[in-house]
Structure 1
């Protein structure tokens, strides 16, 4: 992920040190991206509720998102606690502030003149932004709410030192598929059938494990995917294999997005030629639209990599 630094006053040494520490802990932003993905998934609680949209949440749950974001960030990076703020980073007090609306961070009186880590994101766009700003009186709006909190004014928003701006985070595929397709996925009382439908329509796209749990409404996503009765068994006759991080090398050779250990990808395959990957002793390639369906090969056992 590329970093973005706006032109700002560079005399705030503490702010510089906090930004440098955040970058040193996570140079490409992938850990922060996972923090946001995990926080969205926690608040949806899809394995119990089947929810996957921000609009599905109650007002109290939306308000609680910021607290979960703070907790998950502290667990991931093991920041020390501050005296009057959430964290202490590079020896400086930093308060964590989340807003679903860019610029909507609410700042309590105790954050005045302290540093704030401000974050926002869009699950629909699968992006997030994180920056740091000094909450000076000149950066705050004059009006306050009942809790004596106020937001950043125009000068304050312009003073944010953005570390990542609209950077990618793991996508919620259910928000990227057409609504009619998602409705068809959920139009079954069987968790297994819903997962089968998901992998049919999401062929060639990365599917996060949390999405499988949401569709299945079950915590054990691996049970719904594996060979003995899961989606791999059900879709084998349709020519579909389902790859996880254990089979990243096969995905790479097939020319599809490469899953890590938090993602799956379904791929329809047909017999291939000498330049194609070896699966179960034969060459296979990704099927083209309209090609006849054949029975998919079994995937090799974990830890076994066939010679190409």
Structure 2
């Protein structure tokens, strides 16, 4: 996204204020409030990008490695997922909100391309800044004077400098999850996927990446199996948790093990996240035992 974005001038008295605040209100109601929208939107956007990058299958780690058609598909995927998240119907444009036809535009760059059919209609503007791990969600009426004079070969125009100041922001420069695989050294990724089975890959993952919350989607991608959650549980000594425990490594669930995670001073995990850590003292082993987890500790 652009480094410098002007403050929004969409306030009371602005010609689009009533329309955009009404649409914003409907979106917030559908999402369950601002905080819920921020959480759901950021996770949805991250998944849309990661599902196209497909690191476990392709070895690619970033958006820049995608083919042009794949980058285009992300925009389509965001449109579909956003409608599903907010339970919005399909319309003449991308959706309908409060009886208004609304277009949904996504960018991974610094601007949006507005098609001719969306001119003078409300637009939902979505943006992801992969480098800074920030996301944006804005509302905008595509008046011709808010668009650039130039256009691409498809007759699409971009938002002008004046147009940027006429965006009503729901989320601005909001953190969203960084691409997990960009945080991991390439040699560590290679070691993770050396495993021949789901259990082996899963154990490799939690050996290589400790004291860092790992999302359920990452676990699923590494397991590459339908019943991937079975691999992460204790399983008569064969599960990933059992394997790691014998090595002195705790594998904890944000849903089931939150008190122990907090007691060990590990980063907070969402209910769908997991975190591992090597036990470094008899005291930590005993602490795990008070929560019903038997762990091997070797001084």
TM range (shorter): 0.7 to 0.9
Residues 243 and 264, structure 1, Cα contact 8 Å, conserved in 2: yes
Aligned equivalent of 1:280 = 292
Distance 1:89 1:253, change over 3 A: farther
The residue aligned with 1:251 is 261
Between the aligned partners of 1:23 and 1:70, the Cα distance in structure 2 is 17
Counterpart Cα distance in 1 of 2:227 and 2:7: 44
Structure 1 pair 180/281, CA: closer, same or farther in 2 (3 Å)?
Answer: closer
Q: How does 1:1-308 map to 2 (within 5 A)?
A: 6-10=7-11, 11=14, 12=16, 13-24=18-29, 25=31, 26-28=33-35, 29-45=38-54, 48-49=57-58, 51-83=60-92, 85-103=93-111, 105-123=112-130, 125-228=132-235, 229-244=238-253, 245-269=255-279, 270-272=281-283, 278-280=290-292, 294=297
Contact 1:50 1:214 in 2 (8 A): no
Contact 1:50–1:217, Cα closer than 8 Å, also in 2? no
Gaps of 5+ in 2: none
Aligned-partner Cα distance in 1 for 2:222–2:100: 43
CA distance in 1, matches of 2:191, 2:132: 22
TM-score (norm 1): 0.80
Write out per-residue CA displacement over residues 9-61 of structure 1, whole angstroms, 9 at most, x where no aligned residue. 32211111112332332411111112112212332345654554323422211
Shift of 1:213: 2.6
Q: How many residue pairs end up in the alignment?
A: 280
With the length of structure 2 as denominator, give the TM-score of the two structures: 0.82
Quick check: 1:33–1:168 contact (8 Å CA) kept in 2? yes
Give the superposed CA RMSD.
Answer: 2.8
Instruction: Give distance in 1, aligned partners of 2:168 and 2:120.
Output: 16
Match in the other structure for 1:303: none
1:23–1:98: structure 2 CA closer, same or farther, 3 Å change rule? Answer: same
Distance 2:196 2:130 in 1: 26
Choose between structure 1 and 2: higher helix proportion.
2
Change (3 A) 1:9 1:261: closer
* Stretch moving more, 185-194 or 72-81: 185-194
**TM-fit CA distance, 1:266:** 0.9
What is the Cα deviation at residue 67 of structure 1? 0.6
Query: Where does the alignment leave 5 or more consecutive residues of structure 1 unmatched?
Result: 285-292, 296-308
